[in-house]
Structure 1
């Protein structure tokens, strides 16, 4: 594995300069930074930060309503297959499908995923209710859990995307 010191030696700069250039920090002239980044690519340098991101295990919770519909059943199978087929080897997908359209049931499933499964992110087919919106905002703003809404969206929710 190529180190920052090896890149520094080849470029004739300090290891600190390599670190600043590779992480786009101030204090390095742009032409020097470009030369360092080009050398790092040529040498096959892989950032420890990138390695950590790729080896860290992530848990994504999915909550869907109308579980009796063929579309939602297909979504469940698709999400569950991510972990089974190891399409995303460092991501575990935990699916909860509701057969009903009960707001309290949806909130309970979300809470279960957060407190019991310790999810890192949530994909949610939200029910249009202020309690659900408030839950999304709490997860996002206070607990740092990113939320994506699927198929249905909810107004004024602090979700990162609607699919």
Structure 2
């Protein structure tokens, strides 16, 4: 899938060295807007200020676990795809993470290339879900506009203009002869 925009990425890990390595790697790759945090509290503060496409959380951090962060973060931004990283992974923890809304669960150590691939896949999934929602909204709008009657070329043009103007919050002037049903 070809990206139309850069990925807004949040990296959260209390290990300064590993976090710096990840930030450096993603920043060098290009195509990423990277923000990092060293704790769950810092990550939640960042989430209040801005939205992210993908987030990567360490599972074990002081103050709050990655699972606790995942739950709070997904409540704030359900559309963001979250990957969890851990050096102490169990199947039970992975299942719990998935139930809480994690996109993927990676066990350390792993090549950073694997993390890049997982972030790319998570972003693709994020964009597909977003596109799906937009298409559903468009379909509902079209279904609701079907209450209007008319199939002539002139009416199709009216429907097209309504569809273009609909998302706008600008005032629209409708002109025409008196008695024409403006």
TM-score bucket of the superposed structures, by smaller chain = 0.3 to 0.5
TM-score (norm 1): 0.47
TM-score (norm 2): 0.43
